[in-house]
Amino acid sequence: MSADMADVNPSSEWKLKPHPVLPSGKPCVVCILDGFGENKYKDEYNAVHSARTPNVDKLRENAERCRFVQAHGTWVGLPSNDDMGNSEVGHNAIGSGKVYKQGASLVDAALESGDLFKGDGFAHVKQAFEGHTLHLIGLLSNGGVHARYEQLKQLFQGAYEHGAKRIRLHILTDGRDVPDGSSIEFVGQLEKDLEQLRAKGCDALIASGGGRMHVTMDRYEADWEIVERGWKAHVLGEAPHTFTKALDAVTELRKLPKANDQYLEPFVIVDGEGKAVGTVQDGDAVVLFNYRSDRMVEISKAFEYENFSAFDRVRYPKDLKFAGMLQYDGDLKLPKNYLVPPPFIERTSGEYMVKNGLSIFACSETQKFGHVTFFWNGNRSGYFDEKRETYVEIPSDKCPFNEKPDMKTREITEAGIAALKSGKYDLLRINYASPDMVGHTGSLEATIRACETCDECLGELLAEVDKLGGVYLVCSDHGNADDMVQRNKKTGQPLQDANGVNMALTSHTLAPVMVAVGGAGLKDSVKMRDDLPEAGIASITATFINLCGYEAPSDYCPTLIKTD
Ligand SMILES: O=C(O)[C@H](O)COP(=O)(O)O
Ligand SMILES: [Mn+2]
Ligand SMILES: [Mn+2]
């Protein structure tokens, strides 16, 4: 039992009703195996299936206490069921217990209605259209996790129609949410679409770029040098490689040893005299066109804050008209100006629990720390109540994760077990990042190792829960490790490149994910309900609130368990 709960008296709107059957006061662990889906392809290319996972297998075999729920598309607020889930929308859903229309859907709607070009954010950047340049920076991809090409196209066409005369694109190649090598196709398409704009008299060019994991799109301050490389290329026009054409840049840079879209070297596009065609100057407008926040926060700080010390910006353009596609941090109000309002996520499970006197422990390593805190709490940084909450970040490695596939799974487990033993917490949420982060490297062997280490650590964690008479819920937020190869959609057979080598899949999958409950402290009568065939991950919230001994708020998605 945590700190005395008698000293809290939440107002009626926040009061959680005690569960009629399940007691409170037992430590409850929610463990998220990030990117650990249950894929229909159960073959050697499914790392979850191929890995030795005796602990997960034991959970999976107990059909009365283990089921699968959807973690993609409309189940997590994305436009269509062809959209992969991801950690941001997944942890929003699991933390809030509800499905909110997410960035991708909000931007689609704002473009569809034209509201995007009528809002205050666009009016802010429009001030630069006379006599200055509009710079658009973001992920060039149709992966739909951080950005979508169709939206970018409508953005720069709309900007031209609303008066932009000079537009510069600073593109980050993907190869993570979409197949490696697809950058060639996206750059080719972008060049065609900009050519049409130039034919109408708009001076529109690609000005710089680089691979998303090497240039600009760092998150959780894992490696500011990634952002610095982006600043140099996009703002200062400085990079190790210069080209006169973006297609040449991507084609040639992909020929470098070990090159791929995710980690492509930074480049700057120059004119015939070798002068950068699109540096950011005083009075220019800069718009970040990614809608997802985690990998836009650091570059946003570099553009937004006069006082900034994460790296030497060398030159900070004056009178910049800066905006994000969305506001990327609601607490920091960062950026101040944005084109589309973010989802307003309120009354999340964390806020309910601390208001009802429960104590919370949240832990992951850097790469997923923001997911078990910021995204879990509805895109809010900081604590709801620092007396009742403890957030622990284990610093992630900076090397490619396939080189050290255990990542910090063991260290996270140690921290979780220590927190459990302290007896201070009612709810402990822990995210094992490696199935997802190693899955994104495309290395099947490394991802199998990541899954095996997660399983070993999960066994230790759950054994501690049992020792303490506690309860647990094991789940995931979306698929990734469950499919490590690109497949023929009809036959399911691996697709091969020109050399007959299987083409790795680095992205998430559409697979459902497991939800398993248990623990020495869980009443025998608790079973999975069998009347919710279409449940999604947003039902995990009510489920763990029940395990903590409370009824969930009435408007949360329904619990997955029954206690007859
Ligand atoms: O940002 C990334 O790493 C990927 O695009 C999405 O992965 P995540 O949603 O698991 O973070
Ligand atoms: Mn994830
Ligand atoms: Mn991922």
pLDDT at 479 over 50: yes
In a domain, 16, yes or no: no
CATH code for position 82:
3.40.720.10
Tell me, yes or no, whether 64 and 117 share the same domain.
no
Tell me, yes or no, whether 86 and 140 share the same domain.
no
* Domain final residue, candidates 324, 358, 375: 324
214 is in an annotated binding site: no
Q: Give the binding-site residues of ligand 1, using a 6 Å CB cut-off.
A: 35, 86-88, 145-146, 176-177, 295, 436, 440
Tell me, yes or no, whether 475 and 539 share the same domain.
yes
Tell me, yes or no, whether 487 and 522 share the same domain.
yes
**Cα–Cα distance between 356 and 522 in angstroms, integer?**
21
* Domain final residue, candidates 324, 356, 377: 324
Tally of CA atoms within 13 A in the half-sphere of 465 that contains its CB:
30
The 360-365 sheet, strands edge to edge: 66-69, 513-518, 471-475, 28-33, 427-432, 360-365, 389-394
Which atom of ligand 1 is the closest one to the Cα of 213? 3
Q: What is the ipTM metric for this complex?
A: 0.97
Question: If you average pLDDT over residues 205-211, what whole number do you get?
Answer: 98
pLDDT at 222 over 60: yes
* Domain final residue, candidates 324, 357, 387: 324
Percentage of residues in the chain having pLDDT higher than 70: 99
For the chain, how many structural domains are there in total?
A: 2
Ligand 3 center to residue 508 CA distance, Å? Answer: 6
In a domain, 516, yes or no: yes
Tens digits of per-residue pLDDT, 418-472?
999 999 999 999 999 999 999 999 999 999 999 999 999 999 999 999 999 999 9
Tell me, yes or no, whether 140 and 170 share the same domain.
yes
Beta strands of 445-484 (E only): which ranges? Answer: 471-475
Question: If you average pLDDT over residues 207-211, what whole number do you get?
Answer: 98
Tell me, yes or no, whether 282 and 372 share the same domain.
no
Ligand 3 center to residue 86 CA distance, Å? Answer: 6
For 503, list phi and psi in degrees, rounded to 5.
-90, 120
Tens digits of per-residue pLDDT, 63-96?
999 999 999 999 999 999 999 999 999 999 999 9
Burial of 525 (0-12, 13-18, 19+ CB in 10 A): exposed
Q: What is the pLDDT of residue 564?
A: 75
Domain span at 61: 28-101+344-562
Q: What is the pLDDT of residue 503?
A: 94
In a domain, 8, yes or no: no
Question: If you average pLDDT over residues 221-244, what whole number do you get?
Answer: 97
Which atom of ligand 1 is the closest one to the Cα of 217? 1
Question: CA gyration radius for the chain?
Answer: 24
In a domain, 3, yes or no: no
Please, which pLDDT band fits residue 331 given cuts at 50, 70 and 90?
A: confident
Q: What is the pLDDT of residue 1?
A: 46
Question: If you average pLDDT over residues 286-295, what whole number do you get?
Answer: 96
In a domain, 6, yes or no: no
Ligand 2 center to residue 516 CA distance, Å? Answer: 18
Closest residue CA from atom 8 of ligand 1: 87
Question: If you average pLDDT over residues 225-250, what whole number do you get?
Answer: 98
In a domain, 291, yes or no: yes
Tell me, yes or no, whether 86 and 112 share the same domain.
no
Asked if 90 and 294 count as a contact pair (C-beta separation under 8 A), the reply is no
Tell me, yes or no, whether 355 and 386 share the same domain.
yes
Q: Please tell me the number of the ligand nearest to residue 294's CA.
A: 1
Tell me, yes or no, whether 83 and 159 share the same domain.
no
Please, which pLDDT band fits residue 183 given cuts at 50, 70 and 90?
A: very high
359 is in an annotated binding site: no
Tens digits of per-residue pLDDT, 134-166?
999 999 999 999 999 999 999 999 999 999 999
Residue owning tokens 């050399």: 499
In a domain, 334, yes or no: no
Percentage of residues in the chain having pLDDT higher than 90: 96
Question: If you average pLDDT over residues 252-281, what whole number do you get?
Answer: 98
pLDDT at 536 over 90: yes
Of 556, 493, 431, 404, nearest to 36 by C-alpha is: 431
219 is in an annotated binding site: yes
Question: If you average pLDDT over residues 523-531, what whole number do you get?
Answer: 97
Tens digits of per-residue pLDDT, 93-106?
999 999 999 999 99
Tell me, yes or no, whether 306 and 411 share the same domain.
no
Tell me, yes or no, whether 56 and 73 share the same domain.
yes
Question: If you average pLDDT over residues 223-248, what whole number do you get?
Answer: 98
Q: What is the pLDDT of residue 230?
A: 98
In a domain, 333, yes or no: no
Closest residue CA from atom 6 of ligand 1: 86
| Average pLDDT value for the chain | 96
347 is in an annotated binding site: no
Q: Please tell me the number of the ligand nearest to residue 71's CA.
A: 2
Q: What is the pLDDT of residue 4?
A: 55
Tell me, yes or no, whether 471 and 521 share the same domain.
yes
Ligand 3 center to residue 434 CA distance, Å? Answer: 10
Residues linked to residue 268 through DSSP beta bridges, in sequence order: 208, 242
CATH code for position 113:
3.40.1450.10
Residue 375 DSSP symbol: I
